[in-house]
Amino acid sequence: MKGVIFNLLENFICETWGDEKYEEILSLCPLKTKKPFVGPGTYPDSDLMTIANKTAEILGVSLDDALKSFGRYAFPRLAQRYPNFLENIHTARDFLLTVDSVIHVEVKKLYPNAETPKFSYQDLSETHLVMTYTSKRNLFSLVEGFIEGVSDFFDTPIAYQRKDAEPDNNTCVFDLHFASKSE
């Protein structure tokens, strides 16, 4: 996983619970990586999961809740960092439809060894989209958090249902209903 995701996780923990809490969590993690994480670097997925699991344990929440909160935090920051990816996109639905064919394609141009997940879509109507995530990483709750972050960013409520497949199928289906922008 790219360093940019590790850096966002560090920022999430530091901003929410303080720098000391992050240092405490890190000191309890047996990581393969011994040097600081830098944005363009690539690090073992297992290190990210070790930090996420330890964070959940120390804070007394489930791993799923920790990943979801992290995704919700991370999306607006990624959007701010790569503003050109969102140019001329005005709705949450239109944006989500670009993640597979535009956003993560651009990510791979920036970071050729990035391993982004696969999304496929059933575009059922202006307010109804079914989005299927496939990745051997099975980060279903991170996707859920990203979707909530997209909802916040575009100020558009999204009612969703999530259907997880067995982990070895590596797939999760999100049935999304978009409301009009909040007043």
Site of interaction with ligand HEM (CB under 6 A): 1-2, 4-5, 75, 78-79, 82, 85, 99, 103-104, 107, 114-117, 135, 137, 139, 142-143, 146-147, 150
Q: Which residue's CB is nearer to ligand HEM, number 21 or number 137?
A: 137
- Residues contacting residue 142 through CB under 8 Å, at least 6 positions apart: 67, 68, 70, 71
C-alpha dihedral sign at 134, 138, 141, 143 = negative
Q: Which residue's CB is nearer to ligand HEM, number 22 or number 140?
A: 140
CA 19 to chain centre: 22
The identity of residue 164, as a single letter, is D
Phi, psi of 166 (to 5 degrees): -60, 145
Nearest distance from residue 149's CB to ligand HEM, in Å?
A: 7
Nearest distance from residue 109's CB to ligand HEM, in Å?
A: 11
Nearest distance from residue 65's CB to ligand HEM, in Å?
A: 16
Question: What is the Cα Rg of the chain in Å?
Answer: 16
Q: Which residue's CB is nearer to ligand HEM, number 137 or number 162?
A: 137
Q: Which residue's CB is nearer to ligand HEM, number 25 or number 107?
A: 107
Q: Which residue's CB is nearer to ligand HEM, number 25 or number 78?
A: 78
Q: Which residue's CB is nearer to ligand HEM, number 61 or number 105?
A: 105
Nearest distance from residue 120's CB to ligand HEM, in Å?
A: 12
Nearest distance from residue 1's CB to ligand HEM, in Å?
A: 4
Nearest distance from residue 17's CB to ligand HEM, in Å?
A: 23
